[in-house]
Amino acid sequence: MKSIGIGLAGLGTVGGGTIDLLKENKEEIKKKAGGELNVVGIADIDTGKIASKKYCEMKVFTDAMQLLELDEVEVVVELIGGETFAKDFVISAINSGKHIVTANKALLAKHGNEIFDLATRKNVFIGYEAAIAGGIPVVKALREGLSGNNITLIAGILNGTTNFILSEMENSGASFDDALAQATALGYAELDPTLDIDGYDSAHKIALLSSIAFGVKVDLASVSVSGIRNLSLKEVSYAKQLGYRIKLLAVTRKVDGKIELNVAPSLIPLPELMSNIDGAMNAVEVRGDFVGQTLYYGQGAGAKPTASSVVADLIDIARFGSQSKVPAFSYQPEYLKTLTLLTSSSVIVGRYVRLKVLDEPGVLASITSELAKNDVSIDCFFQKKVDEKEGCTDVILLTHPCSGKNISQSMSEISKFDTVVDSPVILRVESFQ
């Protein structure tokens, strides 16, 4: 039985979890991999981390590039994060003939086409299950289990931080700021939560999933991104009154040969499974023409779940090495094509609209008339009790599915009404039944 030498770059949460998993489940992993998986070298710029006694049997470096000089290292695990050095490290590893396992979704979303092209030429395997949805094996499901299907839709809650925040806003009535502070205190949110709350973390992941599902080159720039930073408690409360929950939803779907890529806070009907994903959990729905609806649920971050995905890729490398015939994006490289984008103006979904209006006769009639001019049909609406002090009230509308162009034209005109005293709030309504 052949042992595999591993060089691990980055001793953060996931790096430490990976080493723990390889040690604790050593015998089980050996039986499945067909040989031992041994971390022979580690690297981290933090000398305090690498000084730990738990790493005393390994060669330690502060420069990850030194791992590539070790002949016994056949696989490198890149857990550095970021793009600049991580990219240089991965490119150098590929050129050195080392297989790669990475959890770096930003790196792959921005530079994946270049990296995977080089890996193909060098006959190097790249595993990236850990880059998307933590411990949920959605990459393997798409690349292998569902490979016979024509995939039509992927929709997911791909960021645990934002899902925790939205769950707290709904369940406890906390403001966005208070829910974010709680997420930070519990370790769900980074000190700088920008990538999470502004939707970019989810955008990286859905761009990669879209490439796997539809055989297109990674195109991060085509993802329409809207986060939850400016989402008020009003929207969360009104959505619940209407029988919906708001989730930061990442969606990619194929419509008439064009592909939609979107990340946005969206209303989902309460009976649907996706609306009931609470706390810091992740979920991904994949729909195929033969398999129908499938759902993948679990922890999307953290030491143990993410380490689980890292080690799964390591086992695949031990089993198959460069002989693995599973392409990086499911499709054979020669069949990958440039994405043809379905623009936001062409996307047809329902919309939630909140309008703050003056309490005057004919206000609702003028709003509905303008919507009708643009072929926007109202599914339901309600009006809150008038605030006597302001002389204003909130009107909340749910529309039937309509194009982004039509709703935008309607709201552009309605915003000009003297009776509308604030900018409209517009959210998507998604249903997967």
CATH number, domain of 104, equals 3.40.50.720
Q: What is the mean pLDDT of residues 235-263?
A: 97
What's the pLDDT band for 222 if we cut at 50, 70, 90?
very high
Assess if residue 222 is contained within a domain: yes
Q: What is the pLDDT of residue 1?
A: 57
Assess if residue 336 is contained within a domain: no
Q: Using CA atoms, how far apart are residues 2 and 66, in angstroms rounded to an integer?
A: 24
Looking at the fold, whether 211 and 295 belong to one and the same domain comes out as yes
Percent of the chain having pLDDT more than 70?
Answer: 99
What's the pLDDT band for 349 if we cut at 50, 70, 90?
very high
Q: What is the mean pLDDT of residues 91-120?
A: 97
Q: Using CA atoms, how far apart are residues 16 and 307, in angstroms rounded to an integer?
A: 9
Q: What is the mean pLDDT of the chain?
A: 94
Q: Give how many domains the chain has, as a whole number.
A: 3
Looking at the fold, whether 104 and 23 belong to one and the same domain comes out as yes
**In terms of residue numbers, what domain contains 318?**
4-134+303-327
Q: What is the mean pLDDT of residues 198-202?
A: 98
Q: What is the mean pLDDT of residues 285-298?
A: 97
Assess if residue 189 is contained within a domain: yes
What's the pLDDT band for 53 if we cut at 50, 70, 90?
low
Q: What is the pLDDT of residue 47?
A: 83
Residues 6+ apart with CB under 8 A from 210: 154, 216, 219, 252, 259, 261, 339
- Which of 47-56, 156-165, 286-295, 308-317 shows the lowest per-residue confidence on average (mean pLDDT)? 47-56
Looking at the fold, whether 145 and 283 belong to one and the same domain comes out as yes
Assess if residue 334 is contained within a domain: no
Q: What is the pLDDT of residue 387?
A: 81
Looking from the CA of 55 toward its CB, the CA atoms found within 13 Å total 24
Checking if the pLDDT of 166 tops 60, the result is yes
Assess if residue 398 is contained within a domain: yes
Q: What is the pLDDT of residue 141?
A: 97
Could you tell me if 130 and 282 are in contact, meaning their C-beta atoms sit under 8 angstroms apart? Answer: no
Assess if residue 341 is contained within a domain: no
281: β partners: 299
Q: What is the pLDDT of residue 389?
A: 80
Checking if the pLDDT of 200 tops 90, the result is yes
Domain CATH code at residue 357: 3.30.70.260
Among 299, 317, 340, identify where a domain stops. 299
Looking at the fold, whether 40 and 178 belong to one and the same domain comes out as no
Looking at the fold, whether 148 and 295 belong to one and the same domain comes out as yes
Looking at the fold, whether 313 and 270 belong to one and the same domain comes out as no
Pairwise pLDDT comparison (51 vs 19), residue with the higher score? 19
Looking at the fold, whether 409 and 357 belong to one and the same domain comes out as yes
Checking if the pLDDT of 191 tops 60, the result is yes
Token pair of 274, please? Answer: 């996706």
Q: What is the pLDDT of residue 425?
A: 97
Looking at the fold, whether 97 and 142 belong to one and the same domain comes out as no
Looking at the fold, whether 167 and 286 belong to one and the same domain comes out as yes
Catalytic residue set: 205
Domain CATH code at residue 253: 3.30.360.10
What's the pLDDT band for 103 if we cut at 50, 70, 90?
very high
Looking at the fold, whether 166 and 259 belong to one and the same domain comes out as yes
Q: What is the pLDDT of residue 322?
A: 67
- Which of 101-105, 230-234, 317-321 shows the lowest per-residue confidence on average (mean pLDDT)? 317-321
Q: List the one residue out of 412, 376, 384, 381 whose CA is nearest residue 398.
A: 381
- Residue 11, number of CB atoms within 10 A of its CB: 23
Assess if residue 104 is contained within a domain: yes
Q: Using CA atoms, how far apart are residues 377 and 380, in angstroms rounded to an integer?
A: 9
Looking at the fold, whether 151 and 291 belong to one and the same domain comes out as yes
pTM above 0.85, yes or no: yes
Looking at the fold, whether 215 and 100 belong to one and the same domain comes out as no
Among 259, 283, 299, identify where a domain stops. 299
Q: What is the mean pLDDT of residues 250-265?
A: 97
Q: What is the pLDDT of residue 320?
A: 87
Q: What is the mean pLDDT of residues 18-40?
A: 96
Q: What is the pLDDT of residue 79?
A: 97
Q: What is the pLDDT of residue 52?
A: 76
Assess if residue 168 is contained within a domain: yes
Checking if the pLDDT of 54 tops 80, the result is no
Could you tell me if 234 and 197 are in contact, meaning their C-beta atoms sit under 8 angstroms apart? Answer: no
Sign of the dihedral defined by the CA atoms of residues 87, 93, 94, 100, in that order: negative
Amino acid at site 280 = A
